[in-house]
Structure 1
Amino acid sequence: MATVEITREHNLGKETARERAEKLADKLAQKLGAECSWEGDELTFKRSGADGVIRVSDQLVEVTVKLGLMFTPMAGMVKGEIEKALDKYLA
Structure 2
Amino acid sequence: MARIDIQHPHSKTPAQARKAIESVAKKLSERFDMDYGWDGDTLNFSRSGVEGKIALLANNLQVTATLGFLLSAMKGPIEAEIRRVLSEKFD
Shorter chain as denominator, the TM-score bin is over 0.9
Give unmatched runs, 5+ long, in structure 1.
none
| 1:27 shift after superposition | 2.6
- The residue number in structure 2 matching 1:27 is 27
Give the TM-score normalised by the residue count of structure 2.
0.93
- Consecutive unaligned residues of structure 2, counting only runs of 5 or more, are none
1:7 and 1:24 map into 2 onto residues whose CA distance is: 16
Moved over 6 A (4+): none
Superposed counterparts of 1:29-68, under 5 Å: 29-68=29-68
> For the aligned residues, what is the CA RMSD?
1.1
Q: CA deviation at 1:61?
A: 0.8
Give the deviation of 1:24 after TM superposition: 1.8
Equivalent pairs counted in the alignment come to 91
In structure 2, how many angstroms separate the alpha carbons of the residues matched to 1:77 and 1:31? 17
1:58 counterpart SS class: coil
Task: Tell me the residue number matched to 1:89.
Answer: 89
